[in-house]
Structure 1
């Protein structure tokens, strides 16, 4: 007898697979990404009142991952205005239980910290100020993760190859089989140089090159290509890494 829920899941997976080889759709998505980067499109959105500086595609993808993985702690690098802090915190509160968010930034500006701490979704949020690869910051993050069974790691701070690769080496041991380490702004590799002309990263020196290097020597993680095929455009192409080994 047909199961409508399983039938729907099967049809969805077939669509996702087909999108991955739809060159016309991929070309249109690539054009949108390139043009929207020029306009600062990612700065247009808020999460529960705070700027989130993300594409809606990736926000939805992260919502799906968090709901499916059910992490008991999310460790993220990069805070900016705090939208992602509150997004992760609100998702964990929806899951229930004593789950927590650890957010790290080298410069947490006072006005942003005040807005984040005053927000009703700030429950169980710890913000750490300092470089995400500083030994004391890393130690603090690991201390906060003690006793947690299912951490998720999200990297979105300094986007240079060297920095992101070091972040991946330092924080990947926290991630257990079935969970994810998500590396944002891998899209830099696919954009023209002028898109990052005023930044220390660029094509050839960015999160995607760091992911490529990391995966050469770490067999615990694989790219979740289903997410890429589903989203079609994303600031994290090939950056959704699933842990497949303990």
Structure 2
């Protein structure tokens, strides 16, 4: 067997074991539960901007971006902008690789791939920092509710010029809001690409963690995912991703478009 294929087969075997190990999956949820009161996800930055994400989840996104090679990544929820910068950097690397393969020089002022971020409130200091970042040419932002028809139409107009689209949903985590986002943005996902729904972990955490939020167990991104899938057979949960990550806030949240 080719050594590369042999290694990939070994990895798949490892993931098979993780999928079957319910105790280890439960232990990982306990770890997240114990780390959450310390706001563990707030502790990381990417190229200078706070990125409120679990590092494992961002690593999984990197793997998907390399595999799918999207022209556009759509993200709901901007906060400090670290996730936008992260996605922009991944797309910059794709453009660099493509240019290198063609024997061309990359023009950073004319990026082939871009990130579109949507947030109901882009705070002035965050907008300023994002727009001042060296990767800002790759980033477009829309301020407005992600489920408002006006916003959705703007996003559709941007996505119309892309061949391959990947979507990340990470704004308001209430069931109805996430379900509305899925109905609006999942159709923009290219076949073979993904819609990633973050913070499905809300469903499996103590209710006290969400007591001051308009979401919680029973009213969460995970409940929205399962409601969405009932009428959208063109999507399926790629559970091998979250099971291999172990530490993730997106259990059942990696939705692959298969049709």
TM range (shorter): over 0.9
Distance 1:197 1:118 in 2: 36
* Matching residue of 2:206: 192
The 1-side partners of 2:31 and 2:198 are apart by 18
Gapped runs of 5+ residues in structure 1?
Answer: none
**CA distance in 1 between partners of 2:22 and 2:180 (Å):** 35
Residue 12 (structure 2) pairs with residue 13 (structure 1)? yes
Normalising by structure 2, we get a TM-score of 0.92
Map of 1:61-140 to 2, 5 A cutoff? 61-96=60-95, 98-140=112-154
- The separation in 2 between residues aligned to 1:237 and 1:37, in whole angstroms, is 16
Displacement over 6 Å in runs of 4+: none
After TM superposition, give the deviation of residue 63 of structure 1 in Å.
0.8
**Greater CA drift, 72-81 or 225-234:** 225-234
RMSD, aligned α-carbons: 0.9
> Corresponding residue for 1:151?
165
* Partner SS, residue 217 of structure 1: coil
State the shift of 1:169 in Å: 0.3
1:232 corresponds to? 246
Deviation readout 1:178-212 (Å, 9 max, x if unpaired): 00000011000000100111100000001000001
Normalising by structure 1, we get a TM-score of 0.97
**The 10-residue stretch of structure 1 (96-105 or 75-84) with the greater mean CA deviation from structure 2:** 96-105
Q: Is the 8 A contact 1:92 1:100 kept in 2?
A: yes
- Partners in 2 of 1:170 and 1:28 — Cα distance? 35
Question: Are 1:163 and 2:177 an aligned pair?
Answer: yes
**Structure 2, unpaired ranges of 5+:** 96-110
